[in-house]
Structure 1
């Protein structure tokens, strides 16, 4: 079993090969699918619902909703809401295409669903954003701009090491959320949360 599959099992539960139902008609020719300009519900800064299915960026961890930082005007801001707004803006502006990595099924509530609904099925995806004449990884954009972070396993290892390197660069450059000294890094919260509380 690959490291990717092991990390996904750790994080979310049961694995199923993933092809979103709305992409199954084109499965023989391509496993990629477009993220539409309308009909999306953004759940977090790394996940959304599309055609009734939950998509989550593989290897990306957004700020947690309800966690706060102090902006330059001295006002408290919801870090998760800022991450979500950035994902929504980038998706709107770049019209990404995505490829499914794996479908995750959990029988209980999950930290990836803000509603905590039981029986969540989530498809982990990697997405390419179209910026000018360039194609860029959506996770890379969010992390290098300082509005998302590299996801970690329960042992603290990076799910996707390239994202960890990009996060280090964003942190040292103090871009995005890194500009605020009291920014609540989500991985610290998730790693040190008591078992069963996620």
Structure 2
């Protein structure tokens, strides 16, 4: 009888460890990944706060001289981190239909900020605001470290920070631009 009670309690505690804490939700495999920082789950769009993934349709040249889609690389790494770290997320802000979230995953029993994992790996970047300043300054420091270490996408000479491309596109859309 005691063994059965212990087994039941162990099962309950094991389950509790694997569920998201109050105010958080599980980020599970199988969500519809839109980019390396954005996904759709249950009809809602989520984006990692303070993160900018490489833009889909932009490219870098790998060590073999082959052009690769930069956005697809960011997306693949996000998918791998979701699979390997079982993140949980909490909403931090909303903008229309978009919910910004902060997430953490488990790495060897330690909680790690998913944004930090992506940026430190060199497969995502610190998001910038409309003034060109980091949305979350700590992420910019982590990005600079990844760049200095030539981590991830930073190992390729022709990788451009997506903020440069987004800024050029925003400038081109302004009335009177290019005149």
Q: TM-score range by the shorter chain?
A: 0.7 to 0.9
Structure 1 residue runs of 4+, over 6 Å off? none
1:70 to 42, 57, 61: 61
Within a 5 Å distance, the mapping from 1:147-162 to structure 2 comes to 147-162=123-138
Instruction: Tell me how far 1:194 sits from its aligned partner.
Output: 3.2
TM-superposed CA distance for 1:193, in Å, is 1.9
- The change in CA–CA distance for 1:189 and 1:134 in structure 2 (over 3 A counts) is same
Cα separation, 2, equivalents of 1:194 and 1:61: 16
Question: What TM-score do you get using the length of structure 2 for normalisation?
Answer: 0.82
Give TM-score, length-normalised by structure 1.
0.75
Which SS does the other structure have where 1:66 is aligned? coil
- Bigger Cα Rg: 2
| SS in structure 2 at match of 1:194 | helix
RMSD of aligned Cα (Å): 1.6
**1:103 positional shift:** 1.5
Whole-angstrom CA distance in 1 between matches of 2:24 and 2:118: 20
Which residue matches 2:163? 187
Matches of 1:148 and 1:197 in 2, distance apart? 25
Point out where structure 2 has 5 or more consecutive residues left out of the alignment. Answer: 1-20, 175-179
The answer to whether the Cα contact below 8 Å between 2:77 and 2:123 also exists between their aligned partners in 1 is yes
User: What pairs with 1:155-174 in structure 2 (closer than 5 Å)?
Assistant: 155-174=131-150
Aligned partners of 1:79 and 1:184 also within 8 Å? no
In proportion to residue count, which structure has more helix? 2
Q: Distance in 1 between matches of 2:90 and 2:52?
A: 18
1:42 to 11, 33, 38: 33
Task: Give the aligned partner of residue 118 of structure 1.
Answer: none
Q: CA deviation at 1:34?
A: 0.8
